[in-house]
Amino acid sequence: MKITTVRRINQLFFFALFVWFCIVATVGDKFWQIRNWPINWILQFDPLVVLGTIVSTRKFYGPLHCAIGVVILTIIFGRFFCGWICPFGAIHQFVGYIGNRGKRIAEKIRLNIYRKAQCIKYLVLIFFVGMAAFPSLAGTLQTGLLDPIPLVTRSFQLVLLPIFDRGTYLTSVNARYYEFGWLILAVFATAVLLNLAIPRFYCRFICPTGAFLGIISRFSIWRIGKTKSECINCKMCERACEGGCEPSGNIKIAECVLCFNCRDDCKHDLIAYQTVPSLAGETQVDVSRRGVVLSFVSGVLAAPAIRLSGKVASNWYTGVVRPPGALAEPEFLKRCLKCGQCMRVCPTNVIQPAGLEGGLEVLWSPILNNRIGSSGCQLNCVACGQVCPTSAIRPITLDEKRGLGDFESAGPIKLGTAFVDQGRCLPWSMDKPCIVCQENCPVSPKAIFTKDVFTTVRDGVVSIKQVTSRTIEIDRGIPADKFATGDYYVLFEDGSRCKISSNTATSVGISEGKVPTAVGKIEIQVRLQKPCVDIGKCIGCGVCEHECPVSGKRAIRVTAEGETRSTDRRLLL
């Protein structure tokens, strides 16, 4: 079998594995649901994830150890990850192949020439590393924006699969929603469509992971190269060169993605995978020192520049309510890859990719939007922390989340606090009974309690005309049948109250209590239970916000005040 065939099978295998892991990132007990599938494998293989988190946190997080294998293999063999494993690379290679199929050979060779602009990806990498490297708490990990593995993961998990699910219900019971999904799709589609202009555009010009692997492949023991310095210069080796690394001449070894197409295409067997450098010459990473310094310094300065908005300080955006187990915001931003695994696995769909309101660095990181999904953050669920590849959301246990067992003294994890918007709340401002929020509060005893009051309804003071048995006829018209719901009462002049059991346009009936006197005034009152939040008990799960019948801007909303993970948003004494 030709080595390019082996490579294609390998690419297909890892792409299929990747799609499979995307599908199984669904809570449930069927074989295609999460169970024990290692859904983070490919993210954990990603060397840039390791590099980024090491630079930002100055620690090497254990579960990412697989990536060290990729680094070691790259040092020995070169950029095999790009050409053989990366699912995003496989997509680019396939689309580039399809898009340029009909072109003449000379045209294809022209498309695959080495371009000076391929050094941009190194500058992207160095810029992101600079951002992550900023000392103290201001460093921020933004590699996930362009790192191909988180990028392709979030594109599949939050956009492609949910679109595919519409109407087919293959991986979820009901339609999933992801705010800002369109922007994720736009980035993905742009990256894929650029292959029609230049094959593997993203890999050649943008990919920071490829850049990192290109840099460390300089010591590789084996590399692609010519076995003779001179040849007839037919350039057939560049007909399908994926890396654009110029194998016909002075090969740019850091650009080579080990596709082996050149070796296959050389009719004269002059190209080999060998230990000696190409006899036609070899060039390492081609990037200027000035470029390196400039992008690193820009990155280092970009980190505090973004923080000038104050979004990670006193000006924090109220929509940033993080999933249970999330680290304090500065630590969180040093780890979150924006890969979307937590958002996909969340059974209620409440975890959403953030937009730009929370600041640039919060983009696509997980926040809770209680208006989306089937039910706030469920009390008995810790799925998001279990799948987070970098522990930006810690893998907490149910006991820790709920403050049981060993965690009793620490208490439950609070995501924030619910606030009643009295101006929008039906009992508080519109004299309508409701308390859906109280009913659905999952905490025991409930964090929402009610203040019970009787309020006279609009135009509710009427004079008694006549009394027959338990029916009071009144002097003025009232809406018929409106007050016999069990929530309305008659208040007599002596201060006593009776529940209204029937009413017509000119009378009210009471079923129990005293028989009223035939003179004087009565007041028609409604019994209201006005919801109040006990901030000591509220865990900020957002079920109340989800259920509130005021469907637009909810009359009870959760914001991050009082969240366990930070001290500066504390509310309770």
Partner 1 sequence: MADQNQNNLGRRQLLVRGAKAAASIAAAVGVARWLYDPKGPGAKNEEVSFLGTLAKGLPDFSVPRKDGQVISIVKGQDRSKTVSKAIELLGGIERFIKPGDVVVIKPNVGFATPPILGATTHPDVITAVVKLCYEKGKAKKVIVTDNSINDPASCFTISGISKAASAAGAEVIMPRDSYFSPLTLKGGSLIKDWPIYCAPFAKADKLIGIAPLKNHHRSAASMTMKNWYGLLGGRRNVFHQDINNIIAELAMLVKPTLVILDGTVTMMTNGPTGGSVSDLKKTNTMIASCDMVAADAFGSSLLNLKPADLPYLAIAEKAGVGTVDYESLKPLRAEVT
From 3, 499, 504, 571, residue interacting with partner 1 (rule: CB under 8 A): 499
501 binds partner 1 (CB under 8 A): yes
Mode of pairing for the β-strands spanning 282-283 and 251-252? parallel
Pick 258 or 350: Cβ nearer partner 1: 350
Number of residues this chain uses to bind partner 1 (CB under 8 A)? 47
Integer angstrom CA distances of residue 194 from 1, 59, 199, 445? 32, 36, 8, 57
Provide the minimum distance between the beta carbon of 168 and partner 1 in the complex, in angstroms, as a whole number.
12
User: Residues near 415 by Cβ (< 8 Å), separated by ≥ 6?
Assistant: 321, 322, 323, 324, 368, 377, 539, 540, 541, 542, 558, 560, 563, 564
Q: Could you identify the residue written with the tokens 């490829």? A: 210
Q: How many CB atoms lie within 10 A of CB 514?
A: 11
Of the candidate spans 36-44, 83-91, 237-245, 477-485, the one that interacts with partner 1 by CB under 8 A turns out to be: 477-485
- Of the candidates 407, 78, 72, 506, the residue with the CA atom closest to the CA atom of residue 263: 78
| Nearest-angstrom CA–CA distance, 230 and 552 | 72
Of the candidate spans 24-32, 92-100, 225-233, 459-467, the one that interacts with partner 1 by CB under 8 A turns out to be: 24-32
175 binds partner 1 (CB under 8 A): yes
From 3, 179, 433, 527, residue interacting with partner 1 (rule: CB under 8 A): 433
Extract the tokens encoding 468: 């027959």
At 325 the three-state DSSP class reads: coil
Pick 137 or 443: Cβ nearer partner 1: 443
32 binds partner 1 (CB under 8 A): no
The answer to whether 508 and 472 have CB atoms below 8 angstroms apart is yes
* Binders of partner 1 in range 82-121 (CB under 8 A): none
543 binds partner 1 (CB under 8 A): yes
Pick 553 or 570: Cβ nearer partner 1: 553
DSSP per residue, 481-496: TSS-SSSEEEE-TTS-
Phi, psi (rounded to 5 degrees) for 221: -75, -45
230 binds partner 1 (CB under 8 A): no
| Nearest-angstrom CA–CA distance, 448 and 548 | 13
| Nearest-angstrom CA–CA distance, 2 and 18 | 24
Provide the minimum distance between the beta carbon of 548 and partner 1 in the complex, in angstroms, as a whole number.
7
455 binds partner 1 (CB under 8 A): no
439 binds partner 1 (CB under 8 A): yes
From 112, 295, 438, 564, residue interacting with partner 1 (rule: CB under 8 A): 438
487 binds partner 1 (CB under 8 A): yes
Provide the minimum distance between the beta carbon of 517 and partner 1 in the complex, in angstroms, as a whole number.
24
- Please count the CA atoms within 13 angstroms of the CA of 379 that sit on its side-chain side: 14
Pick 355 or 442: Cβ nearer partner 1: 442
Of the candidate spans 27-35, 54-62, 105-113, 255-263, the one that interacts with partner 1 by CB under 8 A turns out to be: 27-35
What angle, rounded to 10 degrees, do the helices at 181-193 and 148-155 form? 120
DSSP per residue, 256-294: -----HHHHH-TT--EEEESSPPTT-EE-----HHHHHH
Pick 30 or 104: Cβ nearer partner 1: 30
From 2, 103, 268, 432, residue interacting with partner 1 (rule: CB under 8 A): 432
Asked if omega into 445 is within 30° of 0 (cis), the reply is yes
The count of residues in the chain is 573
Pick 405 or 486: Cβ nearer partner 1: 486
Residue 94 burial (10 A CB sphere; 0-12, 13-18, 19+): middle
Q: Taking the CA atoms of the chain, what radius of gyration do you get in angstroms? A: 32
User: Residues near 247 by Cβ (< 8 Å), separated by ≥ 6?
Assistant: 224, 225, 226, 237, 238, 241, 256, 262, 271, 278
528 binds partner 1 (CB under 8 A): no
Provide the minimum distance between the beta carbon of 535 and partner 1 in the complex, in angstroms, as a whole number.
18
426 binds partner 1 (CB under 8 A): yes
Of the candidate spans 71-79, 148-156, 204-212, 545-553, the one that interacts with partner 1 by CB under 8 A turns out to be: 545-553
Q: What is the maximum alpha-carbon separation in the chain?
A: 119
292 binds partner 1 (CB under 8 A): no
Pick 536 or 549: Cβ nearer partner 1: 549
547 binds partner 1 (CB under 8 A): yes
Of the candidate spans 105-113, 212-220, 265-273, 432-440, the one that interacts with partner 1 by CB under 8 A turns out to be: 432-440
| Nearest-angstrom CA–CA distance, 184 and 160 | 10
The answer to whether 155 and 145 have CB atoms below 8 angstroms apart is no
Of the candidate spans 12-20, 292-300, 334-342, 547-555, the one that interacts with partner 1 by CB under 8 A turns out to be: 547-555
Provide the minimum distance between the beta carbon of 550 and partner 1 in the complex, in angstroms, as a whole number.
9
Of the candidate spans 80-88, 355-363, 444-452, 517-525, the one that interacts with partner 1 by CB under 8 A turns out to be: 444-452
Q: What angle do CA 410, 411, 412 make, to 5 degrees?
A: 125
The answer to whether 270 and 228 have CB atoms below 8 angstroms apart is yes
Pick 75 or 379: Cβ nearer partner 1: 379
515 binds partner 1 (CB under 8 A): no
Provide the minimum distance between the beta carbon of 208 and partner 1 in the complex, in angstroms, as a whole number.
37
- Of the candidates 361, 216, 359, the residue with the CA atom closest to the CA atom of residue 299: 361
Pick 74 or 440: Cβ nearer partner 1: 440
Provide the minimum distance between the beta carbon of 495 and partner 1 in the complex, in angstroms, as a whole number.
22
* Binders of partner 1 in range 334-393 (CB under 8 A): 347-348, 373-375, 378-381
Our measurement of the distance from residue 323's CA atom to the centroid of its chain's CA atoms, rounded to an integer in Å, reads: 10
At 41 the three-state DSSP class reads: helix
Provide the minimum distance between the beta carbon of 162 and partner 1 in the complex, in angstroms, as a whole number.
14
The answer to whether 352 and 362 have CB atoms below 8 angstroms apart is no
Contacts with partner 1 by CB under 8 A lie at 27-29, 169, 173-175, 347-348, 373-375, 378-381, 426, 432-436, 438-446, 450, 481, 484-487, 499, 501, 511-512, 529, 543, 547-549, 551
